[in-house]
Structure 1
Amino acid sequence: MEDTVSVHPSFIRIDEDDHLTSNTHYFGVFDGHGCSHVAMMCKNRLHLLVKEELKKNEWKNTMERSFRRMDEEVILWDQQAGCCRCELHGPESYGVGSTAVVAVVTPDKIVIANCGDSRAVLCRNGKAVPLSNDHKPDRPDELNRIQDAGGRVLYWDGARVCGVLAMSRAIGDNYLKPYVTCEPEVTITERKAEDDCLILASDGLWDVVSNDTACGLARTCLKGNRQSAKMKSPPINDVTEYENCDPTCSNASLLLTKLALARRSADNVSVVVVDLRKVCQML
């Protein structure tokens, strides 16, 4: 299991009119490959980098600079030969990386930064609205970018950068730069009253579950169990490690994960569901 998730409700407060503040919430899903240490570094550090950069930049620059700094930290860690089982692959673990899909939710915006083939989907008025586009090597614009940089896309059990990596953007993977870049695509979506929930998940879910099916299932689960969210104790399962998790969101995430496994997903599955109907407690 090389996936991990990061959940930080109210991780920062944004000043408004010099005297009011608004809660801003952070959620991330990281799908590691080669080993888990890059995904774990993203889990432990990326939200802190976003917090630092947000003090100096607008949203797009904040996310781009945060992802770039995260990539630089990963490369430095590799060069210092950190303690990790992936050292079996060589003295410098350049063949390790991770996707990263991050959502920052404010009272009026949903900011998504995506690097790789994990995905963010918004359920709005009962319909699925993709907020990110998967970075696959055979996506026309990604294919052109790779070829313009001097790389090649080869087909070996699907399209792969240089016949190796099945995604065209990732944090880490230094041996495939500049063909594989850490630059995220950033989208900023205005929130609406009819927004139901937000789903972040690794490709282990999306390989076997469509956007529409995932949104329909999560929406139904949240709608049918919102009253039970008032209970104080979280559900008994092995999925969540977060004390602030809303049980209804945890149950929706667990249900989507079980569906992917029942459909024989061949990859790791990590899912975060955010209830956008909530005002203060987002997960």
Structure 2
Amino acid sequence: MVSDDGNKNKPRNLFHRRVLKSYHKRQQIQQRMNTSTTTSSGEDGAAAAAYREDGDSVTEKRFRVRENEPIDKSSSNNSIITTTVESSSSSNNTNTTTVVEVLTESKELKYGFISMIGRRRVMEDAIKVGVRVRVRVMDNNEFMFFGVYDGHGGSRVSLACRERLHYIIEEELLELNRMDWEKVMMTSFSRMDEEVRGVGYEEDMGRTVGSSAMVVMVGKEVVVVANCGDCRTMLCNRGVTVPLSHDHKADRPDEKKRVEAAGGKILNWKGSRVQGVLATSRSIGDHCLKPFLIPEPEVTVYKRNEWDEFLVIGTNGLWDVVSNEVACEVVRKCLDGQIQRRFPERDSAADAAALLTELAIAKGSKDNISVIVVELDKISDIKV
């Protein structure tokens, strides 16, 4: 049989076609590498292919590290660095992004945090930490802002809260003539609820997207907590837990009474739910369930004292399986002075947040988990 030289390079089957395509692609890359005298090392460069002496290609992963701007642009002492590591692989056309929060010890206020997807398929939690907010009517005292947002139906509203709510609160504080924390938080949460009705709200099914919101502002003398939904903040004082918020669950007696007075119903479907849909009775967004769901937060103003040790702020992915008392005990052990002296390079607050997350997963949490731990034990040394 005489082979046709003109047809010997034609693909015989799907596998052969892929081999030829890969071969021609390697040849093109090799030619560009031979003609190029310099190799670009730009931050946004694509993954390159390395070659062995035998001509086989090996996928090389090129990493890039980005350090975002400090969260508080007005402060030079901000201790939070957000590092994003991205790995690109040309063999399977997939991109993997891992976000690592690196926290160094702050001379002003020590805190650590973690936010992870857990056993969910999508990430709907969002957090905001370390934002300085100045209060004009309190002699320009500064507060440190912490926010935890637990989205449902999507991440649109929780991400919007992360980007905007602290700015709205600061704007409301600037307009005050006398201090009224409840008024500030009520107005701010209501404005945020209106803002999520943006362009394309109806088209992308935005009416069914919402988020619980927890805002904590730490000052020299007080801690202000505003809660709307089922996130939670707990303070430890001499080993005793002090709840600074109460979950807005659909089966809470006063919330059930309010929902029914507005014409809604609490139905039991895998637990008590407003209209059989949502387990929380307050949230930002979720306009399909108005007026049964409201964006009004419950506000707590706690006066700090010398025995306060730390705050734990988290989403219900933590609190559904870990009690206040257990969380208090775990964090106290992580912040123990002996451990800090043995491992001075470790960030105890960040370790405590990570340990609480691991504990929640071990105890069967099936939700996204976000935790912030804020140390309060050295009140005389903290400057916020």
Tell me the TM-score normalised to structure 1 length: 0.85
**2:382 matched to which residue of 1?**
280
**1:153 matched to which residue of 2?**
266
Task: Tell me the distance in 2 between the aligned counterparts of 1:74 and 1:138.
Answer: 27
Task: Tell me the distance in 2 between the aligned counterparts of 1:43 and 1:189.
Answer: 24
Native 8 Å contact 2:136 2:173 kept in 1: no
- For residue 210 of structure 2, the aligned residue among 97, 106, 111 is 97
- For residue 303 of structure 2, the aligned residue among 185, 190, 198 is 190
**Counterpart residue type for residue 300 of structure 2:** T
Native 8 Å contact 2:220 2:382 kept in 1: no
**2:330 matched to which residue of 1?**
217
Native 8 Å contact 1:35 1:96 kept in 2: yes
Residue 248 (1) aligns with residue 248 (2): no
RMSD of aligned residue pairs (Cα, Å): 2.0
Offset, 1:12: 2.2
**1:240 matched to which residue of 2?**
none
More displaced stretch, 147-156 vs 47-56: 47-56
With over 3 angstroms needed to count, the CA separation of the structure-2 counterparts of 1:227 and 1:73, relative to structure 1, is farther
5+ residue gaps, structure 2, are: 1-122
Structure richer in helix, relative to its length = 1
**Counterpart residue type for residue 28 of structure 1:** G
Q: Deviations over 1:17-65 (max 9, x none)?
A: 85xx533100111100000111111111111111111122321111111
Task: Tell me the distance in 1 between the aligned counterparts of 2:308 and 2:376.
Answer: 6
Number of residue equivalences:
256
Residues 49-198 of structure 1 mapped to structure 2, 5 A cutoff: 49-57=168-176, 58-75=180-197, 77=198, 80-81=199-200, 91-198=204-311
**Counterpart residue type for residue 265 of structure 1:** S
**1:6 matched to which residue of 2?**
128
Task: Tell me the distance in 2 between the aligned counterparts of 1:140 and 1:91.
Answer: 34
- For residue 22 of structure 1, the aligned residue among 124, 131, 141 is 141
Secondary structure in structure 2 of the residue aligned to 1:256? helix
**1:265 matched to which residue of 2?**
365
Task: Tell me the distance in 1 between the aligned counterparts of 2:278 and 2:124.
Answer: 15
Runs of 4+ in 1 over 2 A off after TM superposition: 12-18, 223-231, 277-282
Secondary structure in structure 2 of the residue aligned to 1:270? strand
Report sequence identity in percent: 47
**1:239 matched to which residue of 2?**
none
With over 3 angstroms needed to count, the CA separation of the structure-2 counterparts of 1:208 and 1:43, relative to structure 1, is same
5+ residue gaps, structure 1, are: 236-246
Q: Deviations over 1:119-174 (max 9, x none)?
A: 01011111111111100111111011100100011000000000000100000000
**Counterpart residue type for residue 120 of structure 1:** T
Native 8 Å contact 2:225 2:300 kept in 1: yes
Native 8 Å contact 2:227 2:297 kept in 1: yes
Native 8 Å contact 1:63 1:184 kept in 2: yes
Q: Deviations over 1:179-207 (max 9, x none)?
A: 00000000101001100001110011111
Offset, 1:251: 1.3
Native 8 Å contact 1:2 1:35 kept in 2: yes
Offset, 1:280: 3.4
User: Higher Cα Rg: structure 1 or 2?
Assistant: 2
**1:47 matched to which residue of 2?**
166
**1:203 matched to which residue of 2?**
316
More displaced stretch, 100-109 vs 273-282: 273-282
**Counterpart residue type for residue 262 of structure 1:** A
Task: Tell me the distance in 1 between the aligned counterparts of 2:333 and 2:207.
Answer: 43
Task: Tell me the distance in 1 between the aligned counterparts of 2:334 and 2:160.
Answer: 32
Task: Tell me the distance in 1 between the aligned counterparts of 2:364 and 2:383.
Answer: 33
